[in-house]
Every structure is written in structure tokens, then in C-alpha cells.
Structure 1
Amino acid sequence: MNTPHQVPPIDVTPGKAPGSELAHLLAGLERQKEELGPIADELIGLLHHLGVDLPPRGDKRLNPSSE
């Protein structure tokens, strides 16, 4: 069981890239930057340094309907 101080491991199941989860984390930090303060800036900088970038805004992949 995870305590509030532990971070669950990144899910690395086939078909799910860990980079996409990091990009999700980066997007959340960007959205809540003002509320989180300087720690958000440090984490955002670290993620950028590691090569994590936000996906383009128009890049929403939709599956075609099965009609």
C-alpha cells in the first residue's frame, strides 16, 4: 500500500509509453504552476532537461467510429 509520501511506479505495459505519462505530468504542472509555486518551476525545468515536451495542442488522436 502506498503512503502519501510514496509515488507509484510508472506503468510500462506494452503499448503505453512512459514518456506520455511524463508529458501528462508536465501538462498538469504547467496548469497548476501558480498554485504550486517554485517547486512547479523546478519540476518543469527538470522535465524539460530530461527531454519531456508537451504534445502539440491539436494532436488529439481520435479513433474512427465503427459505424
Structure 2
Amino acid sequence: MTSCESKSQNNMIPKEEIVGFFDRMKSNGVDTNTKMLYGYFFTNDEPKKLEIVAEELKKTRI
């Protein structure tokens, strides 16, 4: 487990919620069968912790 990974899975989004998200996108006319761009945002009150995560992400960059 890297420092980026959660030690618990309590903060995971339930599969049903993700399926619902895609269903709503489809009903709003979004073609979810095409390539899609996703973004991730990290927040923390302590900037040093974010810097640690940033360094880990730079190591795994492809």
C-alpha cells in the first residue's frame, strides 16, 4: 500500500451510485461509450500531506 492509498474502504463510492451517475448522464444525452476525460481532486487542511500525495502520483505517471 502506498501513501496515496486509503487504509480503509469506507470512503469508496458504492457501485450503485456510479451506475446511477452513468444512467443519468445517458438520459441527459451523453454518449458514455466514447472516450471520456475524468479528473480527481485532493483536499486536506495540511498542505504537506498533499505534497506527499503529489510526489507519489508523479512516480506513477505514465
Q: Same fold (TM over 0.5)?
A: no
Output the TM-score relative to the length of structure 2: 0.29
Output the TM-score relative to the length of structure 1: 0.28
From the CA coordinates, give the structure whose radius of gyration is larger: 2
